[in-house]
Structure 1
């Protein structure tokens, strides 16, 4: 038994000794290989300029928007200026306006230029025609004091001839729409009432008849009216409402209204109907 114990290997002790040594003996570290030298650092980049640029752009846009809104408002706010002439405008801004060197500030009046529109031309013609009629009236008018009011037509009947001497001209219906007879004689010859009655019309301007008189009569129990046209201006010696006798002087022969020669336009209506005046005179005048 002893031999077997003495002869037993001491392996466990040896193992413990080795572990102790291993724990107590310090380990030497292997030297590390030298590191390669690092390259030198690059110089740092300057700070980015992106943000300032964006800020400038934004501020510019805001300023433009403000100017877009403010300038029209300022222009509308400006006070009204007084009217200026072309010369004043040229003096203020000679580069933007060129005018004739002899221009003058002359105020135009309506009388300083001629009529140009149809309305103005028609009005001007009417004024000239009225002036011409006035001149003709003044030239052809007579003074009533120069007329012998005692003159009467020859005859003694109820109806008499309106002229003592004449030449027959156009009759009823001749040369178109003609409602009477033209008794041709010289201007200034006396005109007489064809019959007694009451003056209904006595005018210096009676349409195309010019100076004219109409008289209402009762002849043979019939209502008769007579008309005397184209008399001389200022020659009427009877007025509307006055009574006249057969053969009484009423005025002088002329050429007024729609007339081209001295004569009397004589019309007769019986009971309102137009009749041939020359045939009526031939039957009734004496």
Structure 2
């Protein structure tokens, strides 16, 4: 076998650097080191610049207006707790809700009805005409334990207590309201009480004495009290009529004190308030 001869470089010849083939690894080290250095520098710049920018933003003072704050930072939400003016008072505005309007209308309508009823009662009392059922809550004038059983000026007395008559006949137009002359307990309330026709009897105690008052010849169906009911002086109890043994519309009014008949008109004159 022939011996292979390898040429050799002459002494003193400089050695040429040999480049490694691709994939050897050393050629990619330098670019990666450059990227790392640039990243570190960017982080350092960001760390220094951002706090400076944050501190450079002005802090709103007490005098800063809402418009200025909105202009400086349009993305922020500003709640102005003291942006409103003086508080509204209830008396400074009128009712506007549906419930308040309906309530106001109802109150005005009630006042109008009450005024109309009062006017009708005054006209009826002065003219002697009948009172409607809407006015049953009328009370007689005056105050005290004894009242007039009929409105003042609405009647005349045709006769009073005598040997043949137990009370006073108070002549008034049919339908005139009758009031309890005394407060007490209703002992009789009947559509047919002997010759009295429609009648009511009330038992009372006045000044330590037992007083009984009778109201006869009332109109059918007008009794406003029942047996056993407690009534007040001046309370409406019925209307003048012509029932029973009667000749013309009037109220037969009787008064007994401790079981004895007394003259009704004189008794009213002394005791009625």
Q: Which residue in the other structure is 2:242 paired with?
A: 255
1:156-206 C-alpha deviation (Å, 9 max, x unpaired): 121000001210111101xx5100000000000000000110000000000
Note closer, same or farther for the CA distance 1:244–1:235 as it changes in structure 2 (3 Å cut): same
Note closer, same or farther for the CA distance 1:235–1:187 as it changes in structure 2 (3 Å cut): same
> Per the alignment, in what secondary structure is the counterpart of residue 168 of structure 1?
strand
Does residue 167 of structure 1 match 2:156?
A: yes
Q: Which has the larger radius of gyration?
A: 1
Q: Which residue in the other structure is 1:39 paired with?
A: none
Choose from 144, 149, 157 the match for 1:157. Answer: 144
Choose from 183, 191, 209 the match for 2:170. Answer: 183
In structure 1, what is the Cα distance between the partners aligned to 2:267 and 2:245? 24
Does residue 274 of structure 1 match 2:265?
A: no
Does residue 230 of structure 1 match 2:217?
A: yes
In structure 1, what is the Cα distance between the partners aligned to 2:215 and 2:147? 14
Q: Which residue in the other structure is 1:212 paired with?
A: 199
> Per the alignment, in what secondary structure is the counterpart of residue 159 of structure 2?
coil
Q: Which residue in the other structure is 2:229 paired with?
A: 242
In structure 1, what is the Cα distance between the partners aligned to 2:134 and 2:246? 23
In structure 2, what is the Cα distance between the partners aligned to 1:247 and 1:192? 5
Q: Which runs of 5 or more residues in structure 1 are unaligned?
A: 1-143
Q: Which residue in the other structure is 1:283 paired with?
A: 270
Question: What is the TM-score when the length of structure 1 is the normalising length?
Answer: 0.48
Aligned residues: 141
> Per the alignment, in what secondary structure is the counterpart of residue 169 of structure 1?
strand
> Per the alignment, in what secondary structure is the counterpart of residue 177 of structure 1?
coil
Choose from 163, 176, 182 the match for 1:195. Answer: 182
Query: Displacement of 1:146 after TM fit?
Result: 2.4
In structure 2, what is the Cα distance between the partners aligned to 1:157 and 1:146? 26
Q: Which runs of 5 or more residues in structure 2 are unaligned?
A: 1-130
1:56-104 C-alpha deviation (Å, 9 max, x unpaired): xxxxxxxxxxxxxxxxxxxxxxxxxxxxxxxxxxxxxxxxxxxxxxxxx
Query: Displacement of 1:209 after TM fit?
Result: 0.2
In structure 2, what is the Cα distance between the partners aligned to 1:145 and 1:154? 19
How do 1:33-182 and structure 2 match up within 5 A?
A: 146-164=133-151, 165-173=154-162, 177-182=164-169
Note closer, same or farther for the CA distance 1:147–1:204 as it changes in structure 2 (3 Å cut): farther
Query: Displacement of 1:147 after TM fit?
Result: 4.5
In structure 2, what is the Cα distance between the partners aligned to 1:145 and 1:202? 21
Query: Displacement of 1:148 after TM fit?
Result: 2.1
In structure 2, what is the Cα distance between the partners aligned to 1:232 and 1:147? 17
Note closer, same or farther for the CA distance 1:145–1:241 as it changes in structure 2 (3 Å cut): farther
Question: What is the TM-score when the length of structure 2 is the normalising length?
Answer: 0.50
In structure 2, what is the Cα distance between the partners aligned to 1:177 and 1:147? 38
